[in-house]
Amino acid sequence: MRITFSAHKDLNIKFQSHRSRDYTNPYLPVNQTAIEGIVQPTVGPDGKVKEPESNVLLASIENMQYAVTVDVLHTVFSAFGAVQKIAMFEKNGGMQALIQY
């Protein structure tokens, strides 16, 4: 698993589903549609990817041997603070998740 800061400042979760959850608003409707996010890296003058600090983390999960769910991510990332929102999506053949604190 690789974890970086995301350029997102606030995740927009429209539905509670197996791929997205807003822990600050339990009254959102339930839907099976996953919320997809696109993260474009910012490159500095030295050619290296800049990672601005953010309250949203991007977790890239590769070579999964076990199913990763919103609940599993919540358990893992809650060790580092109060998780507010999680959105999972597939990109480039791998699983990625945005976790907002």
Number of domains in the chain: 1
Tens digits of residue pLDDT in 17-56? 888 889 888 777 775 443 344 345 566 667 766 655 678 9
Domain that holds residue 70: 2-100
We report the CATH number of the domain holding residue 96 as 3.30.70
pLDDT of residue 64: 83
pLDDT of residue 101: 93
Q: Count CB-CB contacts under 10 A for residue 20.
A: 26
| Apex 35 CA angle, 70 and 40, nearest 5 | 105
Does 47 or 7 have the greater pLDDT score? 7
pLDDT of residue 60: 94
The DSSP call for residue 2 is: E
